[in-house]
Structures are given as C-alpha cells and as structure tokens.
Amino acid sequence: MCGIVGYIGKQQAAPVLLDGLAKLEYRGYDSAGMAVSDGATIRVTKARGRLKVLNELTHGGELLPGHCGIGHTRWATHGIPSDKNAHPHLNESETIAVVHNGIIENYLKLKKNLEEKGYHFSSDTDTEVVAHLLDYYYKGDPLDAIRRVMHRVEGSYALGIMFSDRPGEMYAARKDSPLIAGQASDGNLIASDVPAVLKYTRDVYFIQNEEILCLKEDSLKFFNIDGEELAKEPVTIQWDVSAAEKAGYEHFMMKEIYEQPKAVTDTLSPRIKDGKIEIEELNMTDEEIRQISKIYIVACGSAYHTGVSAKYVFEGLARIPVEVDLASEFRYRDPIFDEHTLLIVVSQSGETADTLAALREAKKQGVRVLGIVNVVGSSIAREADDVIYTWAGPEIAVATTKAYSTQLIVEYLLAMKFAQARGTVTEDTIHEMIEDLKKLPEQIEMLLDHKEKIQRFANRYIAAKDIFFIGRGLDYAISLEGSLKLKEISYIHSEAYAAGELKHGTISLIEEGTLVAAVLTQEDLYKKMISNMVEVRTRGAFILAVTVVGNTEVEKAADYVIYIPKTNKYFTNSLAVIPLQLFGYYVAVGKGCDVDKPRNLAKSVTVE
Ligand code: M6R
C-alpha cells in the first residue's frame, strides 16, 4: 500500500524523505516521488520503479534542495504504474503539491466538474482532483481550503500538502487511511507508519479521522474539520529502531520467523498470572461470556486462517457456535445477529479495508466487536469495542509469520477463558493447557533448529508447477496457511484441500511426482488421513507428511516426514506452521523471488 513521508525542519528534506520512504518499502509500491520547497518554488521528481530510481534521479536528494518536502511510494489503484501517475501531484500553476493514500471515491464527478471550470488533468489518478480542488478553494488560507476539500471528497485519504507561498508550513489531513506525525528535535514529520520516523523521534501523534495538521519547523497544530484547534498528546513508541530492521537475516521474513518464540512469549506470558488466564483488555463479565449465543470471526488472508483454526478451538472448548467469514464476503451478505452475538475481527495491520468495513457494519447493527490486532492505535484497534493486541512487534515482510502465530495465541486464550466462564472444561484441563501453552516458544525454537533439513527438501521443489496441501479438521486450517505461505512468495500454484474432499474433483490434478503436503496432527483423524494419503500416492503423488512425534506409522504412507513435538490437540497449528513457513520461504529463496515484497502484493491492504 502507498507510503507517505513529510519533513519540515533544519535538515535538507529530500534525504530525510528518501530514508523514511525506504522504511515504508514493506508496504508495497510501484513508483515513488518527492516534492521539495526551496522557499519559493516547489520542485518535483517522481518515477515508476523502486526508490533506487528516485535516489539516482535526485542524486540522493541533492537535486531537490529545501527544508520542507513530501514523499510518496505509490501502489497503483487508479491508473497504471507510471511516471505521470506517481505522486506528488500538482495544480497547474505548480504552487500546490499533494501526496495521497486511499481512494477518492467521487473523483470522476469532481474531475468532470473541475474540467468544466477549465482545469486540465495530467494523470489518471484520483489524487490529482485534490490538487486542483485545493487550487480552486485556495485564497491564501490553507486551512480553509483543506477543510473545503475535505467536505467535497468522498472516500479515504491521508494527505500531505505543501503550498509554495507558505514555505515554512506543511499540511496533512486524514480520513480512513493511517497517518501519524512525529516531533523530532530539529523538525517535524508526517508518515503513514511509525518505522518511517523512528530514526528521528519516538514521540508520535496518531492523527484521527477528519483531522488536519499544520506542521512548522518548531510546532505541530491539530484542527478538526471545523477548523477548531485540538489538544493532542504524543505517544512514546517503545520499539527499538533495530526492531524494524533485518538484524542480520537475509530477509525480514526469516527474521520474523525467528522472532516467533519471543512474539509468542510476549503475547502469552503477560496474560497468564498465577496459573490463570487474565486478559486485562477483555471488558466482559463472566455473565456476558455465558450469554454469548454465537461468534463470527471475520478477517482476510492469514488472519482468516487463524479464524478457521479458532473455530475448532472455540467450539470444542467453549461450546459456542462459530462462523468464520472472509471479510470481503461478510460485508455483502446478510448475517443474522442477536443481542448476544460477538464479532471477532482479526488483523495484523488493523487497517485492512474489508475487515474494517465488516467491523463497522456489525457495529452499526449493534453487535459487540472484539478486535485482535497487532498495530497499536490502528483503525480497527480504535474502532472495536474491545481490542486485544498481539504483541508481535512490527512485521515488515508481506508474508505474515509472527503476527499469524500470535493471533493463534490470543484466540486460544480467549477460547480457554470463555470455556472457563461457561464451565465447559474442568480447571484441571485448563491448567494442563496452560502448561502446554507455556512450552510452545521452546518447541518452536526446536523446530527452527532443523531448518537446514527443510531447506534441503525445499530445494528439490523450486521448479514445481503445482503443490497441494491436505488436512482434516484443524489440519485443514494449517493446510490453508501452508499453501498461502508457499504461493504468495514463490509464485508456485498451490491449493489447500480438506483431505476428504480430494476425491470429489481435485484428485484428477495429481500427476506422477506432484508434491502433496499432508498435515496429520489430530489423533482422531489420523487413520482417515493415512487413507487420503494412500489415495493420492497411488496416483503418483510424492507425500510430505507433517505429524506429531511418535506417529512413526505414517512413514509407510509418506515419502518424507517432519515431526512436530507433542502438544495439546488444539495447539498443533502453532507448531505445524513452522516447517510450512520455512518450506515456503526456502522454495521462494531457491527460485530467487523477492521474498519480502512479492509481486502484486502489499503488506497492508487498505482498499477493497
Ligand atoms: O493486516 P491483516 O492481518 O488484516 O492482513 C490480512 C491479509 O492481507 C494478510 O494476512 C495476507 O494474507 C498476508 N499476505 C498473508 O501472508
């Protein structure tokens, strides 16, 4: 998704912008640009391609002198990736520069209107209407012009704006697209995400919907859409700068795979006190928990896969009916709610447009919404009735790993807490489960210690055309995730199937040598899985099995076996996912893919 950085202060702006934009590269982009004011004129350089291109075009920023500037990395929505569609966009007299994240939904109508007034457009973007609309309304008062524009545009936006006749000022505004401001010792910054400013400051303001910000070298002023000044307090970010960098690993993804034991510990241990589950953020009484009639879990991608897994855990432990929905589908169906329905939304970024829309739809209908979110202060975190954070830290790689693992942990804890409140499990069972949970970080480490074995196996499959993942019950949920991990970064076609469903069509795709990864961690489904493995093996498949240590019988039905340590049956996904993440990673590395930034994908999907 697009990235915004703005700087006003004592330093030359362009190098600060390039540096900040580099920290936002993980969001995904196809072009980049900067606008810098030298006090009289705004100069713009922008180009399709990576930041390297922008760096070269501006000689590391030297060709854009000035102390006030806005920069942008664009992920195309309106108009193809191209130089002309890259941001910043200007008005015709080149006195106003704009960078924008989000979508102006009524841009065609506004564009037509502006064209009728004599304005000419030079790009296909929705953003350019903002530059021309600002021009139309600007009569020497930036705040007034921005407010008028905000009243005209529909959709989502985070905006960075400069006016050439206001050289000591920069402006920003937001609605439904993330934007923060940072207060540094030698100036002030705006950015679409915290890592962009961490080098300069830890004091960060989260800009809320329909707020406007005026930045000067030594001041930050916030206004609402009516132009009234607002008092805001900064939040001190605790992350270390190095936490947002690769720390010696070849890719962020591998670094984040290795951070999982810590991420799981950080998410789990503060919530286990004196052998009991205590989720401070859960503002629900036991009585309210007992009254829950149904849970919807709504999310996208890997977050959705944790929901598929959690369904088994909630239903099995707490005996509450659970429906799991893709957020993009949920918002367009007509789900049945009652006053005791609970909606759980799961999101790493907390900004996923479909998940956010589902949350809003449910809230509109009076449903209580609980968010499981990684990014503190994100839109979903702010708008949910209750939010439980996954303390995974910043996740940079597009393919999620540690956020996925911590989402599972929160879901286990919630299911156990609900089961306790409803009296559907004994205290002894909860106690045993807590002990198993506490072992997970160490067990994940043990699995990571065997990464070379998986690397050797993965190297044999870098030329594969199709790879299938099969499992039953909870193992189907893990198959979904294993398949997504592989395909999103290696570009190998892959599908996950409920193993019993194979013979209803998919089995016709199995050819001599096709790799089928079979996950069988559930004791009650073990024998059935062996039968399904035999079915595909007799049709030529090569079987990789992931099972629990001790299940040696599987070796008769599989060609290659990876064992995971013993744990509670509800927690096996937390362990089985590790070899599958490593497998996807090593196949992608072996193929020379851009592992951290796979083509066509963005880390945070803030458009529908
Ligand atoms: O930020 P979110 O958790 O809401 O993102 C949801 C999906 O976009 C995300 O999990 C996506 O599927 C990842 N690329 C998976 O690795």
- Please give the distance, rounded to the nearest whole angstrom, from the Cα atom of residue 140 to the centre of ligand 1: 43
- Please give the distance, rounded to the nearest whole angstrom, from the Cα atom of residue 27 to the centre of ligand 1: 12
- Please give the distance, rounded to the nearest whole angstrom, from the Cα atom of residue 128 to the centre of ligand 1: 29
Is the minimum distance from the CB of 374 to ligand 1 under 6 angstroms?
A: no
Q: Residue 325 above 90 pLDDT?
A: yes
- Please give the distance, rounded to the nearest whole angstrom, from the Cα atom of residue 299 to the centre of ligand 1: 9
User: Which of 164-192 are b and which e, b meaning 16 or more Cβ less than 10 Å from the residue's Cβ?
Assistant: bebbebbbbbbbbbbbbbbbbeebbbbbb
Atom 13 of ligand 1, nearest CA residue: 399
Query: Do the strands 203-206 and 187-191 form a parallel or antiparallel pair, or are they unpaired?
Result: unpaired
The residue from 2, 68, 300, 593 that is catalytic is: 2
Using CA of residue 113, residue 116, residue 118, residue 121, what is the dihedral sign? positive
Res 27: pLDDT = 67
- Please give the distance, rounded to the nearest whole angstrom, from the Cα atom of residue 374 to the centre of ligand 1: 11
Question: With contact defined as beta carbons under 8 Å apart, do 278 and 271 qualify?
Answer: yes
Res 268: pLDDT = 92
Atom 16 of ligand 1, nearest CA residue: 399
Q: Residue 247 above 60 pLDDT?
A: no
Using CA of residue 382, residue 488, residue 395, residue 264, what is the dihedral sign? positive
C-alpha to C-alpha distance for 160 and 162, rounded to whole angstroms: 7
Q: What is the percent of the chain where pLDDT is above 70?
A: 98
Mean pLDDT of 19-45: 91
First and final C-alpha spacing in the chain:
12
Mean pLDDT of 255-274: 91
Tens-place pLDDT, residues 525-548: 999 999 999 999 999 999 999 999
Tens-place pLDDT, residues 418-430: 999 999 999 999 9
Res 517: pLDDT = 98
Q: Which atom of ligand 1 is nearest to the CA of 305?
A: 10
Is the minimum distance from the CB of 300 to ligand 1 under 6 angstroms?
A: yes
The residue from 255, 451, 487, 603 that is catalytic is: 603
Pocket test for ligand 1, best of 330, 352, 483 (most atoms within 8 A of CB): 352
Is the minimum distance from the CB of 58 to ligand 1 under 6 angstroms?
A: no
C-alpha to C-alpha distance for 195 and 214, rounded to whole angstroms: 21
Query: Do the strands 466-471 and 386-389 form a parallel or antiparallel pair, or are they unpaired?
Result: unpaired
Phi, psi of 519 (to 5 degrees): -105, 125
Q: Which atom of ligand 1 is nearest to the CA of 485?
A: 16
User: Comparing 72-86, 184-198, 358-372, 413-427, which segment has the lowest mean pLDDT?
Assistant: 72-86
Is the minimum distance from the CB of 301 to ligand 1 under 6 angstroms?
A: yes
Helix (H, G, I), strand (E, B) or coil at 214: strand
Quote the tokens at residue 271.
Answer: 């919530």
Res 384: pLDDT = 96
Is the minimum distance from the CB of 479 to ligand 1 under 6 angstroms?
A: no
Mean pLDDT of 552-561: 95
Q: Which atom of ligand 1 is nearest to the CA of 605?
A: 8
Atom 11 of ligand 1, nearest CA residue: 301
- Please give the distance, rounded to the nearest whole angstrom, from the Cα atom of residue 476 to the centre of ligand 1: 18
Tens-place pLDDT, residues 435-473: 999 999 999 999 999 999 999 999 999 999 999 999 999
Tens-place pLDDT, residues 64-101: 999 999 999 997 777 788 999 999 999 999 999 999 99
Is the minimum distance from the CB of 327 to ligand 1 under 6 angstroms?
A: no
- Please give the distance, rounded to the nearest whole angstrom, from the Cα atom of residue 492 to the centre of ligand 1: 19
C-alpha to C-alpha distance for 12 and 156, rounded to whole angstroms: 30
- Please give the distance, rounded to the nearest whole angstrom, from the Cα atom of residue 395 to the centre of ligand 1: 11
Q: Residue 28 above 80 pLDDT?
A: no
Res 46: pLDDT = 97
User: Comparing 187-191, 195-199, 353-357, which segment has the lowest mean pLDDT?
Assistant: 195-199
Res 248: pLDDT = 61
- Please give the distance, rounded to the nearest whole angstrom, from the Cα atom of residue 605 to the centre of ligand 1: 8
Helix (H) or strand (E) holding 98: strand 96-101
Tens-place pLDDT, residues 98-131: 999 987 888 999 999 999 999 999 999 999 999 9
Q: Which atom of ligand 1 is nearest to the CA of 355?
A: 4
Mean pLDDT of 499-514: 88
Bond prior to 88 in cis (omega within 30° of 0): yes
Confidence of residue 240 (pLDDT cuts 50, 70, 90): low
Which regions of 404-559 does DSSP assign to beta strands (E)?
A: 466-471, 493-498, 515-520, 542-548
> Does the annotation count 2 as an active-site position?
yes
Tens-place pLDDT, residues 137-159: 999 999 999 999 999 999 889 99
- Please give the distance, rounded to the nearest whole angstrom, from the Cα atom of residue 300 to the centre of ligand 1: 6
Quickly tell me which residue has 């009234």 as its tokens: 228
- Please give the distance, rounded to the nearest whole angstrom, from the Cα atom of residue 386 to the centre of ligand 1: 21
Res 402: pLDDT = 96
Q: What is the percent of the chain where pLDDT is above 90?
A: 84
> Does the annotation count 300 as an active-site position?
no
Atom 9 of ligand 1, nearest CA residue: 301
Res 353: pLDDT = 93
The distance from CA 24 to its chain's CA centroid, rounded to whole angstroms, is 13
CB atoms near residue 517 (< 10 Å): 28
Is the minimum distance from the CB of 156 to ligand 1 under 6 angstroms?
A: no
Pocket test for ligand 1, best of 1, 300, 577 (most atoms within 8 A of CB): 300
Q: Residue 604 above 80 pLDDT?
A: no
Q: Say what angle helices 427-448 and 402-422 make with each other, to 10 degrees.
A: 170
Res 246: pLDDT = 61
Is the minimum distance from the CB of 605 to ligand 1 under 6 angstroms?
A: yes
Is the minimum distance from the CB of 303 to ligand 1 under 6 angstroms?
A: yes
Confidence of residue 233 (pLDDT cuts 50, 70, 90): very high
Res 467: pLDDT = 96
Atom 7 of ligand 1, nearest CA residue: 301
Pocket test for ligand 1, best of 349, 355, 373, 407 (most atoms within 8 A of CB): 349
Is the minimum distance from the CB of 77 to ligand 1 under 6 angstroms?
A: no
Mean pLDDT of 320-346: 94
What is the average pLDDT value for the chain, to the nearest integer? 94
Question: With contact defined as beta carbons under 8 Å apart, do 172 and 215 qualify?
Answer: yes
Phi, psi of 228 (to 5 degrees): -85, 135
What is the DSSP secondary-structure string of 141-198?
-HHHHHHHHHHH--B-EEEEEEETT-TT-EEEEEEBS--EEEEETTEEEEESSGGGTT
Pocket test for ligand 1, best of 305, 347, 348, 383 (most atoms within 8 A of CB): 348
Q: Say what angle helices 402-422 and 301-313 make with each other, to 10 degrees.
A: 30
Is the minimum distance from the CB of 355 to ligand 1 under 6 angstroms?
A: yes
Q: Which atom of ligand 1 is nearest to the CA of 401?
A: 16
Q: Residue 476 above 60 pLDDT?
A: yes
Mean pLDDT of 24-40: 88
Res 377: pLDDT = 75
